[in-house]
Chain A
Amino acid sequence: MYETLRWTLNDSLTIAGRTYSRLKAQPAEIAGFLVFPVIMTVLFGYVFGSAITLPSGGDYRDYLMPGIFMQVMAMTATSAATTVAEDMARGITDRFRAQPIARSAVLVGRSVAALSLHLLSLSAMVLTGLLLAGWRAHGSLGATAGAFGLLALFGFAMIWMGTYIGLWVKSGGQADAATFGWLMPMTFLANTFVPTEGLPAWLKPITDWNPMSAVVAATRGLFGNPTSVSSAWPLQHPVAASLIWSVAILAVFLPLSVHRYRTMSR
């Protein structure tokens, strides 16, 4: 038992190391990773932001940044799905599976490495917010740490959802289409970028119950940034709702992915 655990950890670290080695070979990738959030900040913070006033008062750019932080974490699903699918298409997954590797190590190692990379991207985002958009966290140190913790947990959950999708598609392109295509619009069908008070009644429940709204509302609250007001339960209790959503996504997709990885055949 101890041996198994030790090798699972060891193999996970080796797999994580591979992710970092790959990154060194893709300077353009890193640049994209860091530049995309900056573009979003400028685009929304200054271009659209100049036309948006918050019904509840407060500075729009303070309102915006937590939304962009969440978006960075949500999109982890796409890169997770793409990497997993590409490894399968290239036969690398078969090689791993024919090696004496702890069965969950490949996925665990990759998801942890992916999370650490996205946290790096999030730091770039935070820096952009601080320097470019004048964003500040007004809450206590504990609350601020809690907000980043929620973002990390949500990102980790989304990585596992992406992993599961990646295990079912046949190429990196398909993985991209099967995640980005609906995730990107989903990040907009929430309180991410615009105040939701003025939305039509039929759309409101969708944005209220979108897990992304809960995460954004929770982090806004913890950072002490302005937020949208809603009477829906998840937005009345955003921290609890974010935790429930993230844990639920993890509880579904982590075991499903490991099971799929163990039993899949072509």
Chain B
Amino acid sequence: MIHAEGLRKRYAATEALKGIDLDVPAGTVCGLLGPNGAGKTTAVRILATLLRPDAGHAEVAGLDVVRDAAALRFRIGLAGQHAAVDELLTGRRNLELFGRLYHLSRAEARRRAVALLERFELAEAGQRPVKEYSGGMRRRLDLAASLIVSPPVLFMDEPTTGLDPRSRMQLWDLLLDLVKEGTTLLLTTQYLDEADRLADQIVVLREGVVAAAGSPAELKRQVGGDRVQVVFREPGDVDAGLRLLRGAGSPEIESAEGRQVTVPAADGAQSLVRIAGALDAAGIPVEDLALRRPTLDEVFLHLTA
């Protein structure tokens, strides 16, 4: 549904994109991840027809982003970093305005506005000016505004930046519903839990190139498997503890700092059970014992360090 090859874009002094490839199948979510200045927003702006690439080409919904830009604009929705709605107008007037600009008739625009407000739990707020809305309400209205023509492809640039946890989760659910209905979603984010939660495929950008790509699980595997972390209560127990861990099926010690020891958990949770049993039998007291799965944060730090 989204296909890009060798996209390059240079601003006066910096090369924002140095040739990136993307492939997002229909009905899936692709998360563009990367530190500030990695080129995420530039990539989205090219795909959403706002910028022309210097080199490379891209197709969205079968249309070329440069040559067929005019036709493509009927088939995409874009929600940028700001809630791009008019503060002074009511929620409904905003949606009607954007609907009219999609060449809906007055009556259609009104009907669509009412339906979208209903769907995004803004039916009551629809009569009030947007400046009275909370951050979460603005984002929902912004999302609604990008869905007026039910576009098959949706671009979102940092959709939940600045939202409180409840509003974030609410927005995530709305996005997952859209994807379930068949929308293809490309989103940029700085939040790894967001990418983990939403994305089928993650593309990590660093300094304008693709540093890694794959499903969240694949990326996590790149930085290693599960680990067991033990924090001994007594510093004097560490040596005995290390001997015990080696005996309990964890021959290599990944790290040992102070009272905290980390070992690979070859059998996942079973390793944890074995270690717990061995420590208990030996009467070595622990302050904390946990199975740790790799997080996208680790992947991210590993890839963008």
Residue ranges of A at the interface with B (Cβ–Cβ < 8 Å): 7, 10-11, 14-15, 17-18, 21-22, 25-26, 90-92, 94-101, 265
Contacts and interface: CB of A to CB of B under 8 A. Distances in A.
Contact of B80 (A17, A21, A91): A91
Name the prevailing secondary structure of the B interface residues.
loop
B45 A95 contact: no
Given A14-B97, A95-B78, A100-B74, A22 B103 contact: no
Interface of B: 11, 45, 48-51, 70-71, 73-74, 76, 78, 80-89, 93, 97-98, 100-103, 129, 145-146
Contacts of B145: 95
B93 A90 contact: no
Contacts of B51: 265
B232 to A, nearest CB: 53
A109 B150 CA distance: 26
Nearest to A266: B45
Given A22-B89, A99-B98, A101-B101, A91 B50 contact: no
A5 to B, nearest CB: 14
Given A18-B86, A26-B88, A95 B73 contact: no
A92 B103 contact: no
B146 to A, nearest CB: 8
A98 B44 CA distance: 11
B98 A91 contact: no
B50 A265 contact: yes
Contacts of B71: 100
A91 B82 CA distance: 6
Nearest to B77: A98
A94 B102 CA distance: 15
A22 B88 CA distance: 6
Nearest to A4: B70
Given A18-B89, A98-B76, A90 B82 contact: yes
Contacts of A15: 101
Contact of A95 (B80, B88, B93): B80
Nearest to B51: A265
B80 A94 contact: yes
Contacts of A96: 101
Given A14-B97, A21-B93, A98 B88 contact: no
24 contacts: A10-B103, A17-B100, A18-B86, A21-B89, A22-B89, A25-B89, A25-B129, A90-B82, A90-B87, A91-B82, A91-B83, A91-B84, A92-B85, A94-B80, A94-B84, A95-B78, A95-B80, A95-B84, A95-B146, A97-B50, A98-B73, A98-B76, A99-B101, A100-B102
A189 B76 CA distance: 51
Contacts of B101: 11, 14-15, 96, 99-101
Given A15-B101, A92-B85, 4 more contacts: A11-B101, A18-B97, A99-B73, A265-B11
A150 B97 CA distance: 33
Contacts of A17: 97, 100
B101 to A, nearest CB: 5
Contacts of A22: 86, 88-89
Contacts of B11: 265
A87 B159 CA distance: 19
Given A22-B86, A265-B50, A99 B102 contact: yes
A17 B48 CA distance: 26
B88 A100 contact: no
Nearest to A25: B88
Contacts of B129: 25
Contacts of A97: 49-50
A262 to B, nearest CB: 11
